[in-house]
Structure 1
Amino acid sequence: MAAWSSSCRGLCLQQQFYPHIVASRWNRKKTLTIALAIVIPIIVLLVIFIALWYCLLKRNTKKASGESVNYRHVTDIIAFFCAVDTEIMSIESLLFDLNTIKAATDDFADSNKLGEGGFGPVYKGKLRDGQEIAVKRLSRTSGQGVEEFKNEIILVAKLQHRNLVRLLGCCFEGQERLLVYEFVLNTSLDKFLFDPTRRAQLDWDTRYKIISGVARGILYLHEDSRLRVIHRDIKASNVLLDNEMNPKISDFGVARMFDVDQTRANTNRIVGTYGYMSPEYAMQGLFSVKSDVFSFGVLLLEIVRGQKNSSFYLTDSSHDLLSYAWKLWTENRPLELVDSALGNLFPSNEVLKCIHIGLLCVQEDAADRPTMSSVAFMLNSYSSTLDHPAPPPLVGENRSKELHWSATRSQYSVNELDASEIEPR
């Protein structure tokens, strides 16, 4: 009996003591979790700091002939990359010394100036190894600031496609903010397309190659890259041409990254270029992949016509190039849109297909516009019929002229396309 009583007392003591053991273990686990949450980020930042410092030391050793990194700016460089993007791994290859760029551009000589945009002037340069470069220099009076500078580095460093301009590196020392790109021989499309003399160098095959290349580049941004990117400023001056007239989309300063499942966004700060902006973006600040589609449609029609949308004036009721293209389309005279510099040296069916696609892209309602995957399919297909386009913006007076064009298929259709929309990802 005494033994049984002693056993009961021991059991009671164990039951009383057990909750304290559990609580103690839980507290230790909680403390460990908190400690790890604090220590791990510190270790990661320390590793990044050491890696950056090592890269800069290594770069300085390699460039002992006068192209060394200015150590007064090491802290700024480390802080910049840690702040904007910890995923850019090849930081060493992105950093240029200011003295190196000054030597390459002859201290930003006017004779090396290629042009000027919203970011600032662009200069041609040549590195000591003979490689030619293009240097964008952020102007202190530029409407685009450090945020756009960071944005362009992050995006272009991550995006790799033959129809996108390639970023070689950057530099920020003192007040200087510089972006270094591959040099593209034939500068930008607008220098050819809107020049009465040089426009003749763009035969139809070249124009079609440019149209197709730009479409592939935008498709990559929207659907095929690891990011979903809305460029927001597709236009002729942002399409560079290499020595074989292959197009490369440039200027990502105002581009926006979307989440995988994000379809649109809105902003109070409207950026872009008049004549290329979609109506929903220009008036409401709403933008999506369909905003880029609209801009592409404007560019496509400009390439066909050889004239700029925003500076297109006629004595008739056409307000701009889009209105004029729609007017000719509804009057069964679409080929009159073609640039006179081409003469009759172009395949009618292919040109008609491009005009048709252009009008589909510039429809007023964003939901009616095709995706870039559909556009790329249409450009590469020769066996289908396209949907009938609705009027572009600001042509209400022409809506009554649709007549038989309200049918779902047009006599000018040359491609077959499934009506279903292919949404990115």
Structure 2
Amino acid sequence: MEHRAGSPQLLRQINDRAALLALLERGPLTRLELESQIGLSKPATADLLLRLERDGQLRRAGFREGGKGPRAQLWSVNGALAHVAAVDLTPQGLDVAVSDLRGEVVAEHRHRARKNVDLGVEDLRLSVSVAAAEVGLTAGQLRRVVVGLPGSVDRRTGYLGFAPHLPAWQGFDVLERLAGALGTSVAVENDVNLVALDEMAAGQAAGVDDFALIWIGQGTGAAVVSDGRLLRGASGGAGEIDWMPSPTPPATGAHAVPPRQRVGDMLSNDALKELARAHGLAGDDVEGIVSGDLDADPATRAAFLREVARRVALAVAGVVSVVDPELVVLAGDVGRAGGSALCDLVAGELAELVLPRPRIQPSLVTGNPVRSGALRLALAGAREEVFAIPS
């Protein structure tokens, strides 16, 4: 909207920011379309576009085709104003993406860990540097780097916790070490929290302020969003349900399983393979068994899926009874493979355990949601810096 109070310089900055954010959110727009989005007059919008083009913040992006009359000029944000990197770090490898300020991925690099070799800070630095070099940049020229990993950084000490599977990252201030190695601003976020950010932006949780995301796959974890904000906890350990004590899952008939002490034990790939074998379902592909892609008797698979749902419900119950979310999203390889069928079974089991009645839905995001969530977080910070309005 066009502001009429305050200094002309501040009003211009506010209008510029509104225009830039509209172009980032909706892609290239014509002058008329931008007028409609930000509420400025035709002359004011035309002046804004030419001024921001002269300053290097906007560029011409072709023409809008297909309409009546002359073709309309399209305008877009100059993505080269800043670049960011997102990193998905696991014990198995590194997955890096470099994006321009518009969110267009311009470079990627993947590095697989060698057998019996732990990936460390130097491996990450090299991977980010390789990806940045593809677009003629050094790591230090990136505006921001966000690293997603299966663990949590304690904001008070900078130490990584809940991550015994990443031994090379223990015993030092991770943020300080990474910032020094890369020469730029660095943030480290729990991988499941980043999946939740991606789900909020482009999945089941779009427009939902209170939800929990449960990750079941390579590891078990949770993310909790309350009033639109991630809950991280005092030491960053909110959502680490892998370590949460759990009662022995209910079993039926001859399919009893040994008592297990933690949620992570109950829902690990090995535990689900064991459960599948107890039902007479052969194979090591847990995702295929859960999804029904493998050739199996439907009744046998249904019985197996019910017991998986019991285990998931026990894990979800502890979260739901405390935070009372509107929605629970099942994510990860197993969560997605189970789809609506698993979600419906979990909802039924959960109704027997707790009073809240959240919707249970499968994740909708695809690709690498950890890297995608890290990229969203990096872009949000970079855009705030580039387009900030002085106080």
Larger relative strand fraction: 2
What's the TM-score once normalised by structure 1's chain length? 0.26
Structure number with greater CO (CA < 8 Å, separation at least 6) is 2
Q: Which has the larger radius of gyration?
A: 1
Which structure has the highest helix share of the two?
1
